[in-house]
Amino acid sequence: MTDLLEHTECVFQNGLLTNLAIEEAYKRKDVQIATIHSSTPHFSWQVSSSNPNTTQKAYRIQVATSAALLEKGVADMWDSKIVETNKNTAIPYEGNKLNPNTCYYWNVRVWDQNDSISPTSATKAFLTAESFDNIFPRYPLIKRKECAKSITRQQDGYFIDFGNATFGQLDFTLFSHTENDTVTVHLSESQKNGHTDNKPGGTIRYTKYRIPLKQGLHTYKLNIKPDKRNTDPNANESGVRPILMPDYIGEVYPFRYCEIDGYKGFLQPHDITRYSVNYPFDKGASWFCSNDTILNKVWDLCKHSIQATTFCGIYVDGDRERIPYEADAYINQLSHYGTDAEYSMARYSVDYLMEWPTWPTEWIMQSILMMWNDFLYTGDPSLLQRHYSSLHARTLSALCDSTGLISTKNGKQTKEFLKSIGFRGKAIRDIVDWPQSGALGIEKTEAGEADGYDLTTYNTVVNAYHYKTLIVMSEIAMLLNQPNDADKYREQAEAVKKCFNELLFDYDKKCYRDGIGSTHYSLHANMFPLAFGLVPENQKANVCEFIQSRGMACSVYGSQFLLDALYESDMDDYALSLLCSTGLRSWYNMIRLGSTITLEAWDQKFKPNLDWNHAWGAAPANIIPRYVMGLQPIEGGFRKMRIKPHPGSLKFASAIIPTIQGDVRITYDNKSQEAFDLHVVIPANCESEVWMPKMTKSNALIVNGKRVRAKSNGKYLITTIGSGPYHIISQNK
């Protein structure tokens, strides 16, 4: 990868991959190429080896102005020579000055711990941008040609089902005997009684076009009209404008179904084509299967949602506004990492949101969490280095007062404060979850998606976020060699934690209230402190019991943090029951309603203006790899990882999970209290902690047929393994 882009040599034209070589195409204006905007790009590679416990000992990078020079071993731009390190991600270029709008070529070879030398890698080409403006690079959008899954003849035309919804365009070939024929083309996300649903409610999409036909056989391209709701150049209340589709792609529309009325000819499958538009996405990069068929369907729904909603090339809130919001991006980011080894779109989105933040208080702080995720999954600190000086303001410490907590209502929201966080609106305000009681047509007597949250001056959820950002900032400061800052953030975090528990925990009720002075106890006021590590150890069981009593009393956005909290507290069975629920507040309900992309809310009952194309409802796409299968990075770039499966009542699960180091393969058989049988494959140049569930009696841990000593931690036995395949069994002696 060059600056996290793997396919820098690819040349596209209007969304389609061409056979043009980058050398002959880069001066043309009618093609699209992913360009590198930094004069010091970062190089990354995967170490390939079939031998177990392989680690990289050294590398040598060579960069040249032509591939022919590299074939001769001549690196006229940079020869790193042999560098002894196991680092294989985010290696900065240190050669001669790069020129703008120029093609360069590089390769790498590595030495392992036994001094065995790898073959030289394939040569990769990359094109520098017209100016080094340090914009994080990203790919052009692409189009995928798709045929209908089924075509049904009707009395006055045809009903076409493409099998799933995507953001796309439509071409069709029709025959007319005269110049006077017309047809009506309907597009929709939902169907009713074998027809496109023309009154779907909310902001579920439906549109129609009247098409005059020319005599003879002709192919027509449907010209999709821009929707003022998501193409209006006026900024919203946060001062943010919608993301417009690039000219080389054109306008798109989310649809699964098409209906052609008034056509009496014969329509064959090859006569109608949908061109789906999205950011490059490798559907084969990830895979999941378990013995629970509902969980499998939930995974398929959420994985497709992540692919389909990349249509703008930056994380947006779906089709209603097409505006980037931090909360959408946070779930998008983690779920994109869980489904594809693609990191550039997430990085570009986070960088964008630093310049164009939105109004919710908690979401301002999410930028810090997203930047830390970027480093953990890529091993590249570039995003953190770029924004470190402005990140302190995003902790919102300036809103802290004598209580030791922060508040948007204590008079500290000055113009200087808003400027420090880059906010262009009039004021930020707390959100907790959305919609709340009384919002968007919801009756004030109903709890809304925030479980009836009582928004007081000092908000429990907001201050839970504040604590979490201080903890993460201490980690960031240590990474960037700022030990004094790290100490300051840790001290701040401890002070906030002390005040938080003294002022917000009700020791009689044994749970957290919504805010200082509140007599309301919501799911949110408890799940966020539990997810972010604020709950005292001796109160965790009580808080978990309260959380379980509230059920799924949150939105699809809130479910991300509810499931984080449950799995971090080893409440596997209850968490799995929520993932696999068939109730109204469930992912299965989205499938039952007929959507193939996650909804903005569990059901229209909970958000009357909901849409059917919102990736913030796709939390299982990251919850399944991170918790059900248990894979998370411990060190940046997955050099060290943790595999801590949370099977709950699952009997079997298997997954391929992409990482920047290569695929991690995990399969387990859960034999109740008799044994837990785990097969894993770890990429070269990595090591992993493996947390194996304990059995009921005295335990033995078997690794590749040999009994090993393991560290005990609560319900788990822990061992450390290197790269390669492993068969690990936790069983009764």
Q: Is residue 289 part of a domain?
A: no
Q: What is the pLDDT of residues 299-333, one digit of tens each?
A: 999 999 999 999 999 999 999 999 999 999 999 99
**Boundary-marking domain end, from 105, 128, 151:** 128
Is residue 692 within 8 A of residue 710, CB to CB? The reply is yes
Q: What is the pLDDT of residue 733?
A: 77
Q: Per-residue pLDDT tens for 190-211? A: 999 999 999 999 999 999 999 9
Task: State the pLDDT at residue 245.
Answer: 97
Q: What is the pLDDT of residue 673?
A: 75
H helix or E strand, kind and range, residue 12: strand 12-13
- What is the total count of domains within the chain? 4
Pair 184, 93 in one domain: no
DSSP class of 616: G
pLDDT, tens digit, 9 for 90 and up, residues 689-715: 999 999 876 688 999 999 999 999 999
State the DSSP code for 411.
S
pLDDT at 172 over 90: yes
Confidence at 49, pLDDT banded by 50, 70, 90: confident
Q: Which residues are CB-contacts of 27 (< 8 A; sequence separation ≥ 6)? A: none
Mean pLDDT score across all residues of the chain:
96
299 within domain boundaries: no
Q: How many whole angstroms separate alpha carbon 534 and alpha carbon 528?
A: 9
Six token digits for residue 261 = 């009325």
Supply the pLDDT for residue 438.
65
pLDDT digits (tens, 9 = 90+) for 456-487: 999 999 999 999 999 999 999 999 999 999 99
Same domain, 418 and 449: yes
236 domain residue, yes or no: yes
Which tokens is 118 given?
A: 């790898």
Q: How confident is the model at residue 441 (pLDDT cuts 50, 70, 90)?
A: low
Q: What is the pLDDT of residues 541-557, one digit of tens each?
A: 999 999 999 999 999 99
- The answer to whether residues 97 and 155 belong to one domain is no
Structural domain ending residue among the three candidates 535, 554, 579: 579
Write the DSSP string, 124-169.
EEEEE-SS---PPP-PPPEEEEEE-SEEEEETTEEEEEEEEEEEEE
- Domain residues for the domain of 651 are 636-732
Tokens matching residue 238:
């946060």
> CA dist 337 to 42, 344, 377, Å?
19, 10, 8
Q: Are residues 490 and 396 in the same domain?
A: yes
User: Which residue reads 């940046």 in tokens?
Assistant: 636
* Residue type (1 letter), 547: I
Residues 572-601, mean pLDDT to the nearest whole number: 98
Overall pTM surpassing 0.85 (yes/no): yes
Which residue, 227, 248, 278, sits at the end of a domain?
278
pLDDT range class, residue 662, cuts 50, 70, 90: very high
Same domain, 435 and 544: yes
155 and 116 within one domain: no
**Which is nearest to 656 in space by CA: 283, 377, 287, 284?**
287
Q: Tell me which H or E stretch contains 692.
A: strand 687-693
Neighbours of 241 (CB within 10 A): 15
b vs e for 202-214, b when ≥16 Cβ sit within 10 Å of the residue's Cβ? bbbbbbeeebebe
Residue 265 has pLDDT above 80, yes or no: yes
> Do 381 and 529 belong to one domain?
yes
State percent of the chain over pLDDT 70.
98
Q: What is the pLDDT of residues 626-635, one digit of tens each?
A: 999 999 999 9
Judge whether 617 lies within some domain. no
Q: Looking at the domain assignment, is residue 27 inside a domain?
A: yes
443 pLDDT higher than 60: no
Confidence band, pLDDT 50/70/90 cuts, at residue 445: low
Q: Which of 89, 88, 6 is nearest to 55 (CA)?
A: 88
CATH number for the domain that contains residue 202: 2.60.120.260
Report the amino acid identity of residue 328: D
In a domain, 589, yes or no: no
pLDDT computed for residue 208 by the predictor: 98
Q: Are 51 and 683 in contact (CB under 8 A)?
A: no
